[in-house]
Chain A
Amino acid sequence: LAKTTQPISMDSYEGQEVNITCSHNNIATNDYITWYQQFPSQGPRFIIQGYKTKVTNEVASLFIPADRKSSTLSLPRVSLSDTAVYYCLVGAPLSSASKIIFGSGTRLSIRP
Chain B
Amino acid sequence: EAQVTQNPRYLITVTGKKLTVTCSQNMNHEYMSWYRQDPGLGLRQIYYSMNVEVTDKGDVPEGYKVSRKEKRNFPLILESPSPNQTSLYFCASSAGKGSNTDTQYFGPGTRLTVL
Q: Which residues of A contact B (CB under 8 A)?
A: 32, 34, 36, 41-46, 49, 87, 93-95, 98-105
Total residues of chain B contacting the partner, CB 8 A: 31
Given A94-B96, A94-B99, A100-B58; A43-B106 close (CB under 8 Å): yes
A42 vs B106: C-alpha distance when bound (angstroms): 9
Q: Which residues in window 8-37 of B have CB below 8 A to A?
A: 31, 33, 35
Q: Is the interface of A mostly helix, strand, loop or mixed?
A: loop
B35 nearest CB neighbor, chain A only: A102
Task: Kindly list 5 other residue pairs between chains A and B, CB separation below 8 angstroms, not including A95-B96, A100-B48.
Answer: A34-B103, A41-B88, A41-B109, A95-B97, A101-B59
- Is B101 in contact with chain A by the CB < 8 A criterion? yes
B6 nearest CB neighbor, chain A only: A43
Given A41-B88, A95-B96; A34-B59 close (CB under 8 Å): no
Distance in angstroms from A89 CB to nearest chain B CB is 9
Q: Which residues of B contact A (CB under 8 A)?
A: 4, 31, 33, 35, 42-45, 48, 50, 56, 58-59, 88, 90, 92, 94, 96-99, 101-109, 111
**Residue from the set A45, A94, A103 with the largest chain B CB neighbour count within 10 Å:** A94
Find B108's partner among A42, A49, A93, A98 (CB 8 Å cutoff).
Answer: A42
A95 vs B99: C-alpha distance when bound (angstroms): 8
Distance in angstroms from B54 CB to nearest chain A CB is 10
The answer to whether A43 and B102 have CB atoms under 8 Å apart is: no
A100 vs B26: C-alpha distance when bound (angstroms): 22
B43 nearest CB neighbor, chain A only: A102
The answer to whether B94 and A94 have CB atoms under 8 Å apart is: yes
List, in ascending order, chain A residues with CB within 8 A of B56's CB.
98-99
